[in-house]
Amino acid sequence: MSTDQTFGPAHSDPDPDVITVLLGQHARVKNLFIRINSATGKAKQSLFDELRELLAAHETGEEIVLRPVSQKAAGDKVTDARNAEEKEANKVLTKLEKLDVDSAEFNAAFAEFEKSVLAHAQHEENEELPAVRAQCSEEERQQMGKRLLKAEKSAPTHPHASAAGSPTA
């Protein structure tokens, strides 16, 4: 997968603000859900693979860069909840990978997965990101953005359910 495909327009900014990068990725995730839900066959599988890779990289970057800062800014309750959501999402994603994308079983599980991922993103946008914006200077957020993109480049392309939600994943 190309870097531009994974990280979208925010990647071209030489000093990417971590919040801008994450919001851009959330928008890409939402768009991929829409496209997957209207696709079939190989196209659906390809889009699902793209989503899986994006989520694996995105969550790795969040765990390494965002969570330590948001833990201080928003508190343990918020970050523990986000980590638990990510751990559960990775378990479901691992199960989805084993299913035929055109099967009724996949579609039912994928619909629930979509709801939980979108709710997770909404929690981040409402609870974590405003706390990080309030706690960190623009320069700090730009440094975090660079570190996030770097962490995502070396992230796995498949979920690792056993390590998900761990700040050292």
pLDDT digit string, tens, across residues 107-121: 999 999 999 999 999
CA dihedral defined by 108, 80, 19, 62, rounded to 10 degrees? -80
Confidence of residue 12 (pLDDT cuts 50, 70, 90): low
The DSSP letter of residue 102 is: T
Is the pLDDT score of 17 beyond 50?
yes
Can you say whether the dihedral through the CA atoms of 155, 160, 162, 165 is positive or negative? positive
CA dihedral defined by 35, 39, 43, 46, rounded to 10 degrees? 50
Is the pLDDT score of 169 beyond 50?
no
Rounded CA-CA distance 67/44 in Å is 32
Q: How far lies 34's CA from each of 48, 72, 118, 148, in Å? A: 11, 34, 12, 26
pLDDT at 157: 76
Q: How far lies 47's CA from each of 1, 42, 78, in Å? A: 12, 9, 31
For 88, half-sphere exposure in the C-beta direction (CA atoms, 13 angstrom radius) is 15
Is the pLDDT score of 164 beyond 60?
no
Is the pLDDT score of 2 beyond 70?
no
Placement of tokens 């770097």 in the chain: 150
Confidence of residue 15 (pLDDT cuts 50, 70, 90): confident
Contact 122, 116 (CB under 8 A): no
Average pLDDT of the residues of the chain: 87
Average pLDDT over residues 138-144: 96
